Amino acid sequence: MVSNEEEPSRSRYERTLRFFAEEFDGLVMLLGVGLVGFANLFGKLNSLRDAALVIVFVALSVRVFRIKYQLSDAFARLLGRSESIRKEVLSVQTIFASSKLHEAEMCDRPGFYRHMLAALRSATKTVDLTQLDAQAPMHYGTPEMVEYFELQTRMVRECPAINFRRIVAIPTHEKLEWVLDVLDRVKDCPNFQINVIDISQSGSLPPPLSLQIFDRKEMCLVDPTLGFMLPEDQQHMLWVRGYGVCQVFSVYYDSIWNLGQRLKSGTIIFWPVLENIAKDLNARFPEKRAQSRALVSRMRMLSGKGSEVQNLKTT
């Protein structure tokens, strides 16, 4: 058995032997150069000098060949390491692309719309939107919210390769006016479709979820206990990035979309649907009859039917 005291000595011995083995050609060159200098100094040892020069040349040749193979070996190790790094990067990309990795954050309204702005800017294929609020976005006074809806409309016009869908509820005159504003700006954009749902039919049940899904890999969920925005701040907003969750909620979105009534498909706008909504609002809010007539008049102007307004029946 080797004692602990002998181990450091053996280690130093092995390092010394390894040094001489690896640097043998260098030591030979050093010896040869020394002999050449010695021969030149005394001037009578020409044969010794010639032999020393041959030794130096042979040792130098060995060193050159050894460096060549050392470089080749180092290059091979570098290629192996590069391949290993490439595989690690692909592994990380696979994890991110799988349904197993998700990020989520509960946020307030400004944070919610900051996430939506970032997701909207990075979208390249599909944007599925829901707007169930009673009021237009400008009503709430959140700068990020206003910026988000303005960016939406601008991207619809500037990014025809992205398919936009929006599910809307129109429970008030103010919301109807906002929908007309949107239609006026995107009426010539076939990449933007709108369906309308009547959330008053849900009774005592919670309203449909208000989802915003970007490329089916990132989503934002309005407070699920309400499904719409309140004038005051709300804390229970949810942002999620990840394929698994977004795919599930995309199936949910598609089912709600199919239950809705078509409002805009391609460049076709279904104006009779909007007129029926205006009539229903007029019946529910008779004190706003003048506003109903003004909205119907605007619909007819936008649809090219002229400014003639039909009399709205009251109940």
pLDDT at res. 310: 45
Helical residues (DSSP H) of the chain, grouped into ranges: 6-22, 24-42, 46-97, 109-122, 143-158, 173-186, 243-259, 271-284, 289-303
User: Residue 257: which of 313, 209, 200, 290 has the closest Cα?
Assistant: 209
pLDDT at res. 315: 42
pLDDT at res. 197: 92
Domains of the chain in start order, with CATH, are 6-95 (no CATH), 103-269 (3.30.870.10)
Helix (H, G, I), strand (E, B) or coil at 125: coil
172 CB neighbour count, 10 Å cutoff = 17
**Number of residues assigned to the chain:** 315
**Tens digit of each residue's pLDDT (9 = 90 or more) over 93-114:** 565 555 566 788 888 888 888 9
pLDDT at res. 100: 62
- Token pair, residue 308, equals 């003639």
pLDDT at res. 182: 94
pTM for the model = 0.64
User: Residue 39: which of 58, 52, 29 has the closest Cα?
Assistant: 52
Torsion region of 219: left, alpha or beta (phi above 0 gives left; psi -120 to 50 gives alpha): beta
Is a pLDDT exceeding 60 seen at residue 3?
no
Q: What is the pLDDT averaged over residues 173-188?
A: 94
- Token pair, residue 116, equals 């939506």
pLDDT at res. 49: 57
pLDDT at res. 127: 96
Give the integer Cα–Cα distance in Å for 95 and 103: 13
Please, what is the average pLDDT of the chain? 78
Structural element, H or E, at residue 236: none
Give the integer Cα–Cα distance in Å for 48 and 130: 95
pLDDT at res. 313: 43
% of the chain beyond a pLDDT of 70? 61
pLDDT at res. 307: 43
pLDDT at res. 311: 46
pLDDT at res. 314: 41
**Tens digit of each residue's pLDDT (9 = 90 or more) over 208-240:** 888 899 999 999 988 877 777 766 677 778 899
pLDDT at res. 154: 93
pLDDT at res. 143: 86
Give the integer Cα–Cα distance in Å for 283 and 313: 7
Using pLDDT thresholds of 50, 70 and 90, give the confidence band for residue 8.
low
pLDDT at res. 312: 45
> Any idea which residue has 């909205």 for tokens?
295
pLDDT at res. 124: 95
